[in-house]
Structure 1
Amino acid sequence: MLLALLVTGCSSQRKVQRFLDKQLVDSGQNSEFTGVLMVDAQNGDTLLSLNSGRYFTPASTTKVFTLYAALKELPDRIPSLKYQIRGDTLHVLGTGDPSALHPVLNDLTAINFIKGPRPVVLYTGTLEDPSWGPGWAWDDFDQSYQVERTSLPLYGNVLRLIRGSDSPKVSPEIFRDSVFSDKSNYHRSPERNHFFYSQSSRDTTVIPFTIDPGLTQNLWEEATGRPLIPGKTLPEGPWEVLPGIASDSLYKEMMAVSDNFLAEQLMLLVSSTLSDSLSFNRARDYILKTHLRDMPSPPRWVDGSGLSRYNLISPESLVYLLMELYRDIPEDRLFALMAKGGQNGTLKDWYQDPDGPYLFGKTGSLSNNHNLCGYLKTKSGKIVVFSFMNNHYLKPTALIKSRMQRILVWVREHY
């Protein structure tokens, strides 16, 4: 094991070496693959480096790249729609904004805009990508964390079965005749929108629906209460942009609960600022060639959410990105966008302190992989930027999380 250490303050290098050896070796490190990089945000000094230039499966820590891309390219308010007014007709083009009638964000900007008096032409065919990202698991098609991408989302692209005393309430209602009581192994048919629920369930069930242009048009017609004209060829000329919700509200939801759908749609929103077509690859390539052209160990970045195991990212790339964000974004705003230890999201049950949060970051989990990166406030007032990546372990994830917490709490107390 190669550990590169530069330690200042009250702890000696030997003391730190013994502590880290105990945590990373004696706990069974050799049966898995771990990478760590910790850097002082103020002076750039490296506290700890272990396999920091190696590539790991990042899982949802990929969302730090998506957050960076969005902060670089999107305005303070999410572009809700693009539109042109030609004569007495309103032409509407999707930007990928996921907030319209979203179960949490519940934005009505686009709905109210389309409800106006003009005839409306709706263009649904501007997404260049498949509905799923490369490497997504086919047998997760009915799971709430694997939602299809689209140019004009509504309701978060999910069906919600809200259980009551009798049959469940269906939202959106357009699917009310497509829900059946059944003991199927899946919540939905693989290729069509037939949904299944168990009579014994008392919780709200969230199921992705599969999307086609006709369904998109029907959903928007139901939501706006008016007929819409299907668009074919895009009109020439510039498009106006309709501002929607505050961008930070979308970023916070994505980062805190690790919402995959919001992450994927944010990359399409970035693409919409570059052209009228929506493409993850276009957005990704632009960000890597412009803002991140000097990044060490450039990532293999294949989706916005981290669902794909094709993604490969190193601890040093994540720390580089987090340092860039720390330099560019005021600390209060940046930390507010992250999950907060002991308070919310995926870090609610970890890094607790009655005096308030001291760790602000992003987790990333797939089976046999768990990662954490972000910002650590030490008791001496320093900020440590870190990335901790754990791949290919067979032990319970709780043990991995506990080991990371012991190390990060120790650094908080001693640096």
Structure 2
Amino acid sequence: MRSKLNIYFTFIVMLMLGSGCKSSKTEKKINKTFDTSFYNNQFTGFLVYNPKTKDTIYQHHAGKYFTPASNTKIFTLYTALNLLPHSIPAFKYAVKNDTLTIVATGNPAFLHTYFKDSTALNMAKHYKHINIVDQNLTDDKFGPGWAWEDYDTYFSAERSAFPTYGNVVTISNLDSLIATPRVFKNDIVITSNNKRRAFNDNTFFYKQNTIDSVEIPMVINRMTSEKIWADLLPNKVSFTNNIPSALKTVYSIPSDSLYKRMMHESDNFLAEQMLIMASSTLSDTLSSGKVRTFILKNQLKTLSEKPRWVDGSGLSRYNLFTPKSFVHVLSNLYEAFPKNRLFNLFPAGGASGTLKKWYAGDNEPYIYAKSGTVGNNYALSGYLITNKGETLIFSFMNNHYTKPTSEVKQNMQSIFEWLRDTY
């Protein structure tokens, strides 16, 4: 009996010593990298965690706050996965006699050029009168801290309660100019102007000799909505602020298709609308601020460092998150959802989305993560698969560097490959 106990004790000690040696080796290797001159004039945070053993493998400024850029979308994904069902809530509705009242839920897929969700339009065709409630959003059209000069860029589409066509006008030049939605064709001006739209007006500029399609954000207001719906359902649509009681919900496209597009393309519009749509599960009044507060007070109440979380996309430099916070959320996701489903939602290194040109594996991807880039800041948080089949969860954040972002990525990739090959 004693010999068996001795063998068992020896085995446990060997495991502990092996783990300790491995952690010590990792710490020395990464510390040596961070001690080089490359990292002298920037702020860097890094945390690596093993969810199987519950061990912190390495940490460097893991509790410090950083500008996360699009890493913020990890929190948005977490919110959506916790609050939204398997199919997105396209809209809420009530019927009285021959009148259908549609209440907006923030659904970004309606008539979107990629998703082509026409659920609301198909249902509305069967009624004589349509009332639309689309003023139930408390958020401003732009998030706090967004760059005002980006108003005409595709990645800065306005937020709204009832988006149509992704809240952008898509202009193509084939044999002639084609506008989607078509009601804005006469609002396009051929010009040499570098701006793509008038500052606060739906006059769109298309450069001479352009052959590529361009997406230009619309100015979203009641006039815009009336113009689009008058074309979709002539003489049938009115707008109201009165929300009926006893609403029912109609669902449309699979939620994962929306999540994957948001994460792989780092789509800011989808991220913003996803938080708004999540808020529709809490109330008929839409508010991304309320849903962020709800998640932090409930599902994420055990976060050790509460983030300053001001939008869904990460466009705002007001956002502040720690590597610990990202690893916490990524760990929760890893425990709650099947690995195949979860990893499918994240870009794969060397294979898909924003990581297609970086962090490639030898035969298959070993990094599944979300990147975040805004001037002089780059972050990457997600999952790393080692050669031994271990899944590690990490968050690597770089702020205020003046070197090319490609050099920052190269240094990160060296560390990731070392972890993959040696852990």
Q: Is the 8 A contact 1:315 1:387 kept in 2?
A: yes
- Residue 98 (structure 1) shift: 0.3
Q: 1:7 to 1:196 in 2, by over 3 A?
A: farther
Give the equivalent residue in structure 1 for 2:48: 38
- The 5-angstrom pairing of residues 310-329 of structure 1 reads 310-329=318-337
Give the equivalent residue in structure 2 for 1:189: 198
Q: Is the 8 A contact 1:11 1:414 kept in 2?
A: no
1:49 and 2:59 correspond: yes
TM-score by length of 1: 0.95
Give the equivalent residue in structure 2 for 1:3: none
- Residue 21 (structure 1) shift: 3.1
> Which deviates further from its counterpart, 183-192 or 137-146?
183-192
Please point out which of 152, 155, 164 is paired with 2:162.
152
Give the equivalent residue in structure 2 for 1:385: 393
Q: Is the 8 A contact 1:110 1:244 kept in 2?
A: no
Q: 1:226 to 1:27 in 2, by over 3 A?
A: farther
Q: CA RMSD in A?
A: 1.7
Q: Distance in 1 between matches of 2:135 and 2:349?
A: 41
Q: 1:83 to 1:29 in 2, by over 3 A?
A: same
- Residue 197 (structure 1) shift: 1.3
Pairs aligned (count): 408
Q: Is the 8 A contact 2:23 2:58 kept in 1?
A: no
Q: Is the 8 A contact 1:187 1:197 kept in 2?
A: yes
Which AA in structure 2 matches 1:348? Answer: K
- Per-residue deviation, residues 274-333 of structure 1 (Å, max 9, x unmatched): 111111111111111111111110100000000000000000000000000111111111
SS in structure 2 opposite 1:241? strand
TM-score by length of 2: 0.93
1:219 and 2:228 correspond: yes
- Residue 262 (structure 1) shift: 0.3
Give the equivalent residue in structure 1 for 2:381: 373
Q: Distance in 2 between matches of 1:384 and 1:46?
A: 10
- Residue 213 (structure 1) shift: 1.6
- Residue 19 (structure 1) shift: 2.6
- Residue 355 (structure 1) shift: 2.4
Which AA in structure 1 matches 2:39? Answer: Q
Which AA in structure 1 matches 2:248? Answer: E
Q: Distance in 1 between matches of 2:390 and 2:125?
A: 52
Q: Is the 8 A contact 1:267 1:304 kept in 2?
A: yes
Please point out which of 234, 250, 259 is paired with 2:243.
234
Give the equivalent residue in structure 1 for 2:419: 411
- Structure 2, gaps ≥5 residues long: 1-15
- The 5-angstrom pairing of residues 6-405 of structure 1 reads 8=18, 12=22, 15-164=25-174, 166-224=175-233, 227-235=236-244, 237-353=245-361, 355-405=363-413
- Residue 124 (structure 1) shift: 1.6
- Residue 15 (structure 1) shift: 4.1
Q: Distance in 1 between matches of 2:385 and 2:401?
A: 28
Q: Is the 8 A contact 1:93 1:124 kept in 2?
A: yes
> Which deviates further from its counterpart, 15-24 or 353-362?
15-24
Q: Which runs of 4+ in 1 moved over 6 A?
A: none
Q: Is the 8 A contact 2:111 2:165 kept in 1?
A: yes
- Structure 1, gaps ≥5 residues long: 1-5
- Residue 226 (structure 1) shift: 5.5
Q: Is the 8 A contact 2:156 2:217 kept in 1?
A: yes
SS in structure 1 opposite 2:290? helix
Q: Is the 8 A contact 1:181 1:196 kept in 2?
A: yes
Give the equivalent residue in structure 1 for 2:10: none
Q: Is the 8 A contact 1:122 1:217 kept in 2?
A: no
